[in-house]
Amino acid sequence: MFYFGADYYPEHWPEERWIEDARLMANAGFNVVRMAEFAWAKMEMIEGKFDFDWLDRAIEVLSSSGIKVILGTPTASPPPWLMSKQQDLFLVDSDGVRQTYGLRREYCPNNPLYWIFTEKIVNRMAEHFKDNPAVIGWQIDNEFGDRCFCSICSTKFQKWLQKRYQTLEELNEKWGTIFWSHVYTEWSQIPVPLAILRSQNPGLGLDYRRFMSDTYRDYQKFQIDIIRHYCPSHFVTHNLMGFGYNQLNYYDNTADLDVVTWDNYLRMQWDMRSYIDPAKAALNHDTMRGLKKKNFWVMEQQSGGGGWEYVAVTPKPGELRLWTYQSIAHGADGIVYFRWRTSRTGTEQYWQGVLEHHGNPGRRYLEVLQVGKELSKIGDLIEGSQVHTRVAIMQSYDTRFAFQVQPNHPNFSYEKHILDIYKGFFHNNIPVEIISEKDPLEGYQVVVVPAMYILTEETARNLEIFVQSGGIVMFTPRTGVKDETNTVVNIKLPGLVANICGIEINEYVSMAVDEDNQVKFGLPELEEDFPTSVWADLITPKGAEVIAFHTMDFYTNQPAATINRCGKGKVIYIGVIGDNAFNVSIARVISNMAGIKPLMKTPPGVEVMERWKGNKRLLFVLNHLSETQEITLDGKYLDLINENQISGIISIAPLNVLILKELINKNI
Ligand code: GAL
């Protein structure tokens, strides 16, 4: 079943209203809601006095309208009676400032008392709802994150280090603590990297970030175990924050979940510009799908402008629908809008729900209802279909954490670099999966490895095997600089992959922030100049063929990019950071080398994705622009929404979507 619904807060509204809510939801085709993730105070208003009657009644109202329920454990927002017990319950931020009560996510995830109260509420909830047939799944907490620097976390960090390194000699050696005489002689001397340390020991900085990520994994697992004990047939998830969130290792932290869900917002008060980059949302989806290599849900799909203090830019008619289908096109099997009705009170008064404050259906409701109607027609076709990709972009949270400690260059962002490379493929309509540095590579033909700064022997070996057996790999600057302890390697860059690249980098140039350079490509299919910035690797080929040269400064005419044949495959090294046109060209060239064709040639701003069910293919064509666009179809298709056959040149209206079923089945 394709799940479609909203995040619902019955505790915010009079009980008499619930029936009308359920009626309107059912009318819009909803079959699921998420509830209770912020209702701790309603379920346990007074310590130890639990009340689930109201939630039973809400579930009853919803399930009589055919709506299933995902329950959230409420630990993201504890009630005041709990937080006033101990100062230690509050998280301490990187400035050493203890949080105060009044927002949410203010708890220290290592506080033992917090775990005790977590255990109580989660136990009671799971026990109470285990046999309720309307409940199908659980969301643990809400958007885990935020590092804590308190003394409890500090002690736990020291224990975590002890387990990892066993002896202080080993830790001192791996972190190189002889530098500035930081040699620790007791575990208790090791600090947490508060912001005041500005530039911290790289080993310490990386390990602390790993530790905090593990902390949330442990805290989540603690809750999952309770839920699974009582409710073995329910699925367990957590709502993540997409590609952009960089404080947790999402690969590790989703390993214990049954399904990945995430929160997809494109228009929020924090960016009031009119332009929205659809590639960003696409990258988010492809990252979330890549976490478990399977379809995901959007647990919070935007349902209006997203504002707290400001009223965020109003989504244009069609955008909510377009963004919903973009989620589905990239592998969403469930869409849950945040939120059902705009709250009249609280921080999120201006975070628009499907319904306005007054609760009467308006434009947003009608748009969602339209999607509901369409899904009732095509949901079965979508169900069970998968996204297949032959291109992977490899990322690593260790590398992200290491770049947080030392960004390397004020104009360099690892995340933006990945986004830019991703956009190259996105604008060519070539589907991509974002994978981790530990993932198996079978099944892909191209693996792009941007700036893999922390490069382990295992990853280097896997890439070599992949290339030897026919794969194509592309690396970019700052690859192979460090080992897994965040120590710089003592071999020439790109370190452990220099050999398969067939090159040595004798000097890497860090460019002034106001400086540009240029690269000249000399490939038959790419004979162009492109502006470059930030980094310039000066490459000495050791068997590789040079495909581009720097054209300015003291390194004019020095090799800037190479290609190396290695076993049955090829390794491309790009020693510069290029612009968008450059990334689009490189993506085209490299895909072409692997025989991967764009799904369709479209004008910029029209995105194409596909989902496969066996050998049947569904094509999603999404016009992100405010003008009608023309596209040329490469065959005969059934337009599933409009229920007609189409072929040849067709036009697609502004912000509109086509879902096409190919009339001849293809082999993948
Ligand atoms: C999400 C969060 C929701 C809600 C929403 C709007 O990040 O999970 O609970 O706060 O943002 O701010």
- What pLDDT shows up at residue 264? 98
**Residue (of 417, 427, 485, 415) closest to 455 by Cα position:** 485
Spacing, Cα 199 to ligand 1 middle (Å): 32
The C-alpha torsion from 7 through 13 and 15 to 18, rounded to 10°, is -40
Residue among 432, 455, 377 nearest 640 (CA): 377
Question: Ligand 1: residues whose CB is within 6 Å?
Answer: 142-143, 239, 263, 300, 306, 338, 348, 351
Question: What residue type is assigned to position 261 of the chain?
Answer: T
Return the residue whose CA atom lies nearest to atom 1 of ligand 1.
Answer: 263
User: Taking residues 225-252, what's their average pLDDT?
Assistant: 98
Confidence check: pLDDT of 668 > 60: no
Return the ligand 1 atom nearest residue 143 CA.
8
Q: Pull the structure tokens for residue 556.
A: 């004019």
Q: How far is CA 81 from CA 50, 121, 150, in A?
A: 14, 14, 21
The predicted-structure confidence for 580-593, as pLDDT tens digits, reads as follows: 999 999 999 999 99
Q: What is the mean pLDDT of residues 80-99?
A: 98
Tens digit of each residue's pLDDT (9 = 90 or more) over 442-481: 999 999 999 999 999 999 999 999 999 999 999 999 999 9
Which tokens hold the place of 143?
Answer: 């958007």
Residue type, 289: R
Q: Choose the residue to mutate in 77, 300, 310 for probing ligand 1, maximizing ligand atoms within 8 Å of C-beta.
A: 300
- Please check the confidence at residue 224 and state whether its pLDDT lies above 70: yes
**Nearest-angstrom CA–CA distance, 298 and 34:** 11
**C-alpha 216 to ligand 1 mean position (Å):** 18
Name the CA radius of gyration of the chain, rounded.
26
Q: How many CB atoms lie within 10 A of CB 120?
A: 14
Q: In testing the pocket of ligand 1, which one of 348, 350, 352 has its CB within 8 Å of the most ligand atoms?
A: 348
Task: For residue 460, give every residue at least 6 positions away whose Cβ sits within 8 Å of its Cβ, in sequence order, or none.
Answer: 480, 495, 496, 497, 500
The reply to whether CATH 3.40.50.880 applies to domain 391-594 is: yes
Pick the atom of ligand 1 nearest to 38's CA: 9
Peptide bond into 339 cis (omega under 30): yes
Report yes or no: 539 and 503 within 8 Å, Cβ to Cβ.
yes
User: Residue 352 to residues 9, 34, 182, 222, 363: CA-CA distances in angstroms?
Assistant: 14, 17, 52, 33, 12
Q: What is the mean pLDDT of residues 647-658?
A: 97
Q: In this model, does residue 162 exceed pLDDT 60?
A: yes
3 state DSSP class of 578: strand
Say which amino acid occupies 253.
Answer: N
Q: Which of 73, 142, 310 to mutate to test the pocket of ligand 1 (most atoms within 8 A of CB)?
A: 142
Element (H, E) at 589: helix 580-593
Sole residue written with tokens 């000495």: 540
Q: 511 falls in which pLDDT band (50, 70, 90)?
A: very high
Residue positions annotated with a catalytic role: 143, 300
State which amino acid sits at residue 332: A
| pLDDT tens-digit map of 384-426 | 999 999 999 999 999 999 999 999 999 999 999 999 999 999 9
Q: What's the CA gap between 148 and 152, in Å, rounded?
A: 9
664 pLDDT higher than 80: no
Cα 319 to ligand 1 centre (Å): 19
Token pair, residue 475, equals: 């690396």
Q: What is residue 343's three-state secondary structure? A: coil
Q: Write down the mean pLDDT value for the chain.
A: 97
Residue 667, pLDDT above cutoff 90: no
List residues bridging with 644 in a β-sheet: 639
pLDDT confidence tier of residue 434, bands split at 50, 70 and 90? very high
CATH number (2.60.40.1180, 3.60.70.12, 2.60.320.10, 1.20.1250.20) of 606-662 reads 2.60.40.1180
Q: How far apart are CA 409 and CA 415, in angstroms?
A: 13
pLDDT tens per residue across span 175-194: 999 999 999 999 999 999 99
pLDDT band of residue 663 (cuts 50, 70, 90) is confident
The protein residue with its alpha carbon nearest to ligand 1, atom 10, reads: 348
Atom of ligand 1 nearest to the CA of 338: 5
Contact 336, 32 (CB under 8 A): yes
Closest ligand 1 atom number to CA of residue 348:
12
Q: How far is the CA of 524 from the centre of ligand 1 (A)?
A: 50
The 10 Å Cβ neighbour count of residue 151 is 11
Q: Name the band, by pLDDT with cuts 50, 70 and 90, for residue 536.
A: very high
Q: Are 64 and 22 in contact (CB under 8 A)?
A: yes
Q: Give the residue range(s) of CATH 2.60.40.1180 domains in the chain.
A: 606-662
Cis peptide before 494 (omega within 30 of 0): yes
Query: What pLDDT score does 340 carry?
Result: 98
Residue 13 C-alpha to ligand 1 middle, in angstroms?
A: 19
Tokens of 651: 């036009």
* Structure tokens, 201: 């020991």
Q: How far apart are the C-alpha atoms of 327 and 311, rounded to whole Å?
A: 24
257-301 pLDDT, tens digit per residue, is: 999 999 999 999 999 999 999 999 999 999 999 999 999 999 999
User: Ligand 1 atom closest to Cα of 351?
Assistant: 6
Nearest CA to ligand 1 atom 9: 142
Q: What residues contact residue 601 under an 8 Å CB cut-off, 6+ apart?
A: 429, 632
Report the pLDDT averaged over residues 332-351: 98
pLDDT > 90 in the chain, percent: 97
Where do you find CATH 3.40.50.880 in the chain?
Answer: 391-594
Tens of pLDDT, residues 193-209: 999 988 899 999 999 99
Q: Which of 9, 143, 350 maximizes ligand 1 atoms within 8 Å of its Cβ, making it the mutation to test the pocket?
A: 143
The pair of three-digit structure tokens given for residue 449, joined into one six-digit string: 């490895």
CA–CA distances in Å: residue 323 to residues 123, 344, 361, 467? 37, 26, 20, 37
Rounded to the nearest angstrom, the distance between the alpha carbon of 534 and the centre of ligand 1 is: 35
User: Residue 641 pLDDT > 70, yes or no?
Assistant: yes
Nearest residue by C-alpha to atom 5 in ligand 1: 338
Please report the pLDDT score of residue 665 as a whole number: 63
* The pTM of the whole model exceeds 0.85: yes
Q: What is the DSSP string of 300-333?
A: EEE-S-B-SSS-PPPPPTTHHHHHHHHHHHTTEE
d(Cα 553, Cα 511) in Å, to the nearest integer? 11
CB-count exposure of residue 293 (10 Å: 0-12, 13-18, 19+): middle
| pLDDT reading at 371 higher than 90 | yes
Ligand 1 geometric centre to CA of 384 (Å):
29
